[in-house]
Amino acid sequence: MYESEIAKRKTFAIIAHPDAGKTTLTEKFLLFGGQIQTAGAVKNNKINKATTSDFMEIEKQRGISVATSVMTFHYKEKWVNILDTPGHKDFAEDTYRTLTAVDSVILVIDCVKGVEEQTERLMEVCRMRSTPVIIFVNKMDRDGKDPFDLLEELEAKLNIGVHPMSWPINGGKDFKGVYLLHNQSLNLFESSKTKVADDVVKINGLSDPQIDTILNAKDASKLRDDVELIDGVYGELSQSDYLNAKTAPVFFGSALNSFGIQELLDTFIEVAPNPLPRATTKREIEPNEAKFSGFVFKIHANLDPKHRDRIAFLRVCSGKFERNKNFKHVRLEKQMKFANPYMFLAQSKEVMDDAYPGDVVGLYDTGNFKIGDTLTEGESFIFKGIPSFSPEIFKELINIDPMKSKQLEKGIQQLTDEGLASLFLQELGNRKFVGTVGELQFEVLQYRLEHEYGAKCRFEPRGIHKACWMSGEEADLKDFMKYRQTNIAYDKDNQPVFLAETAFILRMAEEKYPNITFHTTSEFKV
Ligand code: G4P
């Protein structure tokens, strides 16, 4: 059912190291899709590095990122949903979770900087989930790395095959444009911030003398040599290798100059997957099943203490979501209906009546949802693949106002349900360990606990290297958990985790208990 709706949809995320050009590219997509009319309309949602402890700034930024969490636009009969990911690395886990809700990604690389740290980590998540990736090498108007070296670097550092779809003719101030390898045309560079189509010159292959009238002799000869080499090495793009996340098609362009956007978008809507089936605890769910199902991948709180409402972002996985229809909240085993579900259109959000697989619906929430919650039309299953990752920094939550312990309890529970940080509880002494990817979250937590829940706390650093989920034989696990009792805590799903103090201690544990596997994410294949 709903095949024609499903066939129209493409749901993806643009990922990049901060400053590579994600915001600019998003904006150009919306411009090409006719969703916005002027450049500069999409607010940059990155949290300024210089103001990491400025709470007003954080609030402002978080406010903006709600508006730009999902942007939908139409392009050539397709209905494209872009899911935004926060740029600040302290919110990396937010990004990882958003990646569970997309079917493919576009990765933006700065041609001057090449593969940066954040890019590598994001790609690890894509690889883990076999998410198809298209790469856009941006800022070709700047003097960047040699394109052959870049391709090599992409393959080596991102651990994925690459396949150039276009090829740059010089770079920096000599940038002339790109040669489109798949349809043998020249796309000539012209700096323009507002145009919504490329100037493509169709030529008949590289021997076409037109090239010599358009390019000077040196550039024409270099292009011919380069392309000969590329053809020899890369051949045809295999769409199945792309869909299986083995090969990433690569484009070169300049988002700021609206250059190379059209060929990227055209290829994207042609090759990128439509909404894909998803695994659950019970069976695989096909998007075209008649009955609705979906999961919550992000929760956004309103930071205004007078309006303590939240928006839960739900990805529709099958069937049709309808306004005012009863659905089952599987974890709570209760029926819920939604009078004002939102859809997000570029800059605004509107109440919607129905949504289809691939769409993201914003649900007004008063505290019913946790990240990873599943809604269905009656069946009981939970979507898999929304793992928790081991945090990088661990601190113990210390209550400093005993009169407010209830508020603190509730606050930390709700804020970690939102996904702001991970909470690990230890029965022994009722200790609470909070883990995050960056320091910033502790400041946000402390601020919000005080301002929204009236609870005062302190975070004390704890020397913990990694939180490890464990798999193995029951008897071994029991034995290990008894042996390391003081380092065992429980995650939000009540799964035991080993809080290993150092990499060395983790290695020792692995050696002593060879039948136990220690995992740094909560979902793993056994
Ligand atoms: P991000 O979301 O990935 O963090 O990056 P964003 O789009 O904000 O771009 C980062 C900077 O790179 C911006 O400059 C942007 O204008 C610039 N940029 C994006 N695409 C290109 C390109 O193709 N060529 C060149 N030369 N620059 C590009 P900024 O000075 O930091 O911000 P702004 O004041 O221009 O907004």
One pLDDT digit (tens) per residue for the chain, 526 residues: 799 999 999 999 999 888 899 988 988 998 888 766 655 555 554 444 433 344 555 555 555 455 557 888 889 989 999 998 876 666 667 788 888 999 999 999 999 999 988 888 888 888 888 999 999 999 999 999 999 999 999 999 999 999 999 999 999 989 999 999 888 888 888 766 566 666 677 788 888 888 898 889 999 999 999 999 998 888 888 999 999 999 999 999 999 998 999 999 999 999 999 999 999 999 999 999 999 999 999 888 765 556 667 889 999 999 999 999 999 999 999 999 999 998 876 566 788 999 999 999 999 888 899 888 999 999 999 998 777 778 889 999 999 998 999 999 999 988 888 888 899 999 877 899 999 887 888 988 898 899 888 999 999 999 999 999 999 999 999 999 999 999 999 998 889 999 999 999 999 999 999 999 999 887 765 4
Which residue from 245, 108, 219, 241 is spatially nearest to 167, judged by alpha carbons? 219
Residue 438: the pLDDT is 79
Q: How far is ligand 1, taken at its centre, from the CA of residue 150, in Å?
A: 20
Residue minimizing CA distance to atom 16 of ligand 1: 256
Task: Identify residue 36 by its one-letter amino acid code.
Answer: I
Distance from Cα 21 to the centre of ligand 1, integer Å? 5
CATH classification code of 278-376: 3.40.50.300
Residues with CB under 6 A from ligand 1: 16, 18-24, 44, 46, 87, 138-139, 141-142, 254-257
Any idea of the CA torsion for 469, 472, 475, 481, to the nearest 10 degrees? -20
Q: Does domain 393-519 have CATH number 3.30.70.3280?
A: yes
Contact 32, 261 (CB under 8 A): yes
- Residue 56, class by beta-carbon neighbours within 10 Å (0-12 exposed, 13-18 middle, 19+ buried)? exposed
Going by alpha carbons, the residue nearest to atom 30 of ligand 1 is 19
- From ligand 1's centre to the CA of 110, what distance in Å? 10
How distant, in Å, are the alpha carbons of 31, 43, 67, 236, 350 from that of 346?
A: 10, 11, 8, 35, 11
Query: From the CA of 132, how far away is ligand 1's center (Å)?
Result: 25
Delimit the CATH 3.30.70.3280 region(s) of the chain: 393-519
Cite the DSSP H helix spans in 134-237. Answer: 147-158, 210-214, 217-234
Return residue ranges of the chain for CATH 3.40.50.300: 3-271, 278-376
- Nearest CA residue ID for atom 14, ligand 1: 19
CATH code for the domain defined by 3-271: 3.40.50.300
In angstroms, how far is CA 218 from the centroid of its own chain?
A: 42
Q: 130 alpha carbon to ligand 1 midpoint, in Å?
A: 29
Atom nearest to 46 CA in ligand 1: 4
Tokens at 60, concatenated = 């402002």
Q: Look up residue 460 and give its two tokens.
A: 């004390």
Which value, to the nearest 10 degrees, does the dihedral of the CA atoms of residues 24, 28, 34, 38 take? Answer: 60
Calculate how far, in angstroms, residue 509's C-alpha sits from the geometric centre of ligand 1.
46
Copy the structure tokens of residue 180: 């489109």
Mutate to test the pocket of ligand 1, among 14, 15, 17, 19 (most ligand atoms within 8 A of CB): 19
The pairing of beta strand 354-355 with beta strand 496-500 = unpaired
pTM for the structure as a whole: 0.85
